[in-house]
Homo-oligomer: A and B are copies of this chain.
Amino acid sequence: MSERRRSPVEPESIEPHMCSLDLRLEIIGKLPFFEGLPPAEIERINQSFREIGYQPGETIFFTGDPAVRLYVVASGKVKLMRHTFTGQDILVDILTPGDVFGSLSTLGDETYPNTAQAQTMVCALAINAEDFRRILATYPTVALKVLDMTSARLNEAQEMVRRLSAHSVEQRIAYTLLKLAEKLGEPQDVGLLIQMPLSREDLAGMTGTTTATASRVISQLQRDGLINSGRQWVAITDVEALREIAEGVGAH
């Protein structure tokens, strides 16, 4: 413990070309829901998008802003949050390349329900909400894929509700770490590293607890040898044991 390494999370910052015009077609073509579309169509769809780059920590939009655009993560990580009146931020979701956010239902709310913030260097593709609707109406395949993604996220959110309701903080943190590792995990010498800057505060926001408690739990898990962690990063060393905690195998 004497010589703790620096954060093993790679900066992911020195890649300016990621948001360049050159690669837009490739990025858009690789998006899960445009997959399989003929190149000519992708070319046309491409016209409607414009790319925007964000610095880590930069806010893409705030809760309550008029919901005019829909975004797609092209590269980097975006966190979706909700504010509480007490000033605390709840981390609702973490988005990775291919994920959609912003204004999906033009008919419903006129404002964004969440705040979106760049967690790393981010390249996002933005499209006018109405234009996106037109695309969906034109290509039913795409609409079905977007629907799939949305209902998958609904499912995850409902699962989250269940876990917040019935599980202890330790279980929730264990589960959240596993979920994050599933999405962002990278095998490294420190363990299965969650490839993003992740503070105790973030973790607290995701599990509905405080930084102090999150810190205590993380320390305990580390003492037990299940994880490995430092400033702004966490790596899992014993996935199975962590899963047992998350599912509440011995305790409750």
Interface residues on chain A, size class: 35 or more
Decide if A147 touches B136 in the complex (CB within 8 Å): yes
Instruction: Give A190-210 as 1s and 0s: 1 = Cβ < 8 Å from B's Cβ atoms.
Output: 000000000000000101110
**A86 adjacent to chain B (CB < 8 Å):** yes
Shortest CB-to-CB span from A183 to chain B, Å, is 15
**A37 adjacent to chain B (CB < 8 Å):** no
Shortest CB-to-CB span from A202 to chain B, Å, is 13
Interface residue from B82, B88, B151 paired with A108 (Cβ < 8 Å): B151
Q: Which residues, 147 to 171 on A, are CB-close (under 8 Å) to B?
A: 147-148, 150-155, 157-162, 164-167
Q: List 18 A-B contacts (CB under 8 A).
A: A82-B158, A86-B248, A90-B161, A92-B162, A105-B152, A108-B152, A108-B155, A113-B155, A136-B147, A137-B141, A138-B140, A140-B143, A143-B143, A150-B154, A157-B158, A161-B161, A164-B164, A165-B209
Interface of A toward B, CB cutoff 8 Å = 80, 82, 84-86, 88, 90, 92-93, 104-105, 107-109, 113-114, 133, 136-138, 140-141, 143-144, 146-148, 150-155, 157-162, 164-167, 205, 207-209, 247-248, 252
